[in-house]
Amino acid sequence: DGGITQSPKYLFRKEGQNVTLSCEQNLNHDAMYWYRQDPGQGLRLIYYSQIVNDFQKGDIAEGYSVSREKKESFPLTVTSAQKNPTAFYLCASSIRAGGDEQFFGPGTRLTVL
Which residues of this protein are in contact with other proteins, per CB under 8 A? 1, 4, 6, 31, 33, 40-45, 48-50, 56, 58-59, 88, 90, 92, 94, 97-99, 101-107, 109
Cβ proximity to other proteins, 33 vs 78, nearer residue: 33
Give min distance, CB of 70 to other proteins, in A: 18
Residue 18 CA to its chain's centroid (Å): 15
Q: Which residues contact 71 (CB under 8 A, 6 or more apart)?
A: 28, 29, 30, 52
Cβ proximity to other proteins, 59 vs 70, nearer residue: 59
Task: Report yes or no: 66 and 34 within 8 Å, Cβ to Cβ.
Answer: yes
Task: Report yes or no: 15 and 102 within 8 Å, Cβ to Cβ.
Answer: no
Give min distance, CB of 43 to other proteins, in A: 4
Task: Report yes or no: 78 and 14 within 8 Å, Cβ to Cβ.
Answer: no
Give min distance, CB of 58 to other proteins, in A: 6
Cβ proximity to other proteins, 75 vs 80, nearer residue: 75
Q: Residue 91 is which amino acid?
A: C
